[in-house]
């Protein structure tokens, strides 16, 4: 499974990237707001650090303007994936932008039917939002499983990018189902290293080591 980091926080991306954990980055207008930075400037900085795809989202809602914005975002760097929402106009923009050779991440996907349309429109990535479905008591993981089945049934090359990830369980369950990528906030990726039995076992080892009176020389 590939890991994308869902943030526009450059320092957080750098820390994970130095560990070799980062296969790509996703941003959205809310994450740009949170960063407090200019979209072009921060996106360029991320693209210079990360070799993989960096998603930057259009904010126009009609296809011709979305396509124009997508072209401008794609000029920032060769590894930009233009993010478009899963609307009818977004699908038109997806078709046009992939036709021009750009990567396109179709975002805000909440149903298997939407995911099927995105694949037909040539999306590079489809972003089903797990956490936001869970928020309204629907099963985000069932959506990932349905999309996996549909894409495998017909051999679609669109990669399933599990998004709106809120927990470690979201990542591992999406991995078991076969999502190609998980995009998660840095704190969720870091939490994946934590286990109470690891902490407990380490404390015991260190106490016992202290009792030996030895040093590693």
Looking at the Cβ atoms of 17 and 107, the one nearer to ligand E4P is 107
Q: How far apart are CA 45 and CA 18, in angstroms?
A: 15
Interatomic CA distance for residues 140 and 144, integer angstroms? 7
- Rounded-to-integer distance, Cα 60 and Cα 62, Å: 6
Residue (137 or 214) nearer to ligand E4P, CB: 137
- C-beta of residue 32 within 8 angstroms of C-beta of residue 76: no
Q: How far is the CB of 129 from ligand E4P (least distance, A)?
A: 6
Output the smallest distance, CB 6 to ligand E4P, in A. Answer: 5
Find the helix packing angle between 140-154 and 112-120, rounded to 10°: 40
Of residues 45 and 134, the one with the C-beta less far from ligand E4P: 134
| Smallest separation, CB 214 to ligand E4P (Å) | 48
Measuring CA to CA, which residue among 127, 65, 67, 114 is closest to residue 95? 67
Nearest approach, Cβ of residue 188 and ligand E4P (Å): 10
CB of 164 to ligand E4P, least distance (A): 3
> Is 83 tagged catalytic?
yes
With H, G, I as helix, E, B as strand and everything else as coil, classify residue 125. strand
Nearest partner of 83 among 47, 49, 58, judged by Cα: 58
In the complex with ligand E4P, the residue whose CB is nearer, 21 or 204, is: 21
The catalytically annotated residue of 2, 34, 83, 190 is: 83
Measured CA to CA, the distance from residue 117 to residue 94 in angstroms comes to 11
Q: What residues line the site for ligand E4P (CB under 6 A)?
A: 6, 26, 28, 107, 127, 129, 131-132, 163-164, 183
Separation of alpha carbons 128 and 146, rounded Å: 11
Active-site positions read 83
């Amino acid at each position: 499974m590939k890991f994308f980091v869902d943030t526009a926080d450059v320092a957080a991306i750098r820390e994970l990237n130095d560990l070799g954990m980062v296969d790509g980055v996703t941003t959205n207008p809310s994450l740009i707001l949170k960063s407090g930075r200019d979209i072009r400037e921060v996106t360029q900085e991320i693209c210079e650090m990360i070799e993989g795809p960096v998603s930057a989202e259009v904010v126009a809602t009609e296809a011709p303007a979305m396509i124009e914005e997508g072209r401008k975002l794609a000029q920032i760097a060769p590894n930009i994936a233009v993010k478009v929402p899963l609307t009818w106009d977004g699908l038109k923009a997806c078709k046009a932008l992939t036709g021009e050779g750009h990567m396109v991440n179709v975002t805000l996907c909440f149903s298997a039917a939407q995911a099927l349309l995105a694949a037909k429109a040539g999306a590079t990535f489809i972003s089903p939002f797990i956490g936001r479905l869970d928020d309204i008591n629907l099963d985000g993981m069932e959506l990932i499983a349905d999309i996996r089945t549909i894409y495998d049934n017909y051999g679609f090359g669109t990669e399933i990018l599990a998004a709106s990830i809120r927990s470690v369980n979201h990542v591992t369950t999406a991995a078991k189902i076969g999502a190609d990528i998980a995009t998660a906030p840095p704190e969720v990726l870091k939490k994946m290293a934590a286990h109470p039995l690891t902490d407990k076992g380490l404390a015991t080892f260190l106490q016992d080591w202290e009792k030996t009176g030895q040093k590693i020389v």
